[in-house]
A and B are shown apart, each in its own frame.
Chain A
Amino acid sequence: MKKVTLILSFVIIYALSAFTALPPAKLVAKDAHISFYSHTAVEDITANNYKVTTTLDTDTGELVFSVPMQGFEFEKALMQKHYNSKNFLNTKKYPKAKFVGKITNMGAVDFDTDGSYTAQISGEMTIKETTQNFEATAAITVASSQIELESKMDIVLADYGVTFSKGKPSTNIAKEIEVTVKANYKP
Chain B
Amino acid sequence: MGLVLLGVLIVGLAIVLYLFNMPHRDVVGSNADFYLTTSTIVHEYLENPTVANAKYLNEEGESKILAVTGTVQSIDEDMNQQKVILLMEANDKAGVSCTFTQSTNKHTDNIETGQQITVKGVIRSGASYDADMELYEDVILEKCDIIKK
Contacts and interface: CB of A to CB of B under 8 A. Distances in A.
Given A31-B79, A54-B133, A76-B22, 14 more contacts: A26-B134, A28-B133, A28-B135, A51-B78, A51-B99, A51-B140, A66-B132, A69-B125, A78-B22, A80-B24, A91-B61, A95-B57, A95-B126, A100-B132
A51 B86 CA distance: 13
B80 interface: yes
B79 to A, nearest CB: 5
Contact of A95 (B23, B24, B53, B142): B53
Q: What DSSP secondary structure best describes chain A's contact surface?
A: strand
Nearest to B126: A95
Contacts of B138: 30
Given A50-B80, A51-B140, A70-B63, A92 B99 contact: no
Contacts of B25: 77
A152 interface: no
A84 interface: yes
Interface residues of B, number: 34
Interface of A: 26, 28, 30-33, 48, 50-51, 53-55, 64, 66, 68-71, 76-78, 80-81, 83-86, 90-92, 95-96, 98, 100, 182, 184
A54 B132 CA distance: 10
A64 B133 contact: yes
B124 interface: yes
A81 B137 contact: no
A70 B19 CA distance: 21
B142 A51 contact: yes
B79 A71 contact: no
Interface string B6-47: 000000000000011011110000000000000000000000
Contacts of A32: 79
A173 B99 CA distance: 29
Contacts of B97: 30-31, 51
Interface in B35-70: 53, 57-63
Given A68-B125, A71-B140, A77-B25, A55 B133 contact: yes
B82 A66 contact: no
A32 to B, nearest CB: 8
Contacts of A96: 125
B109 interface: no
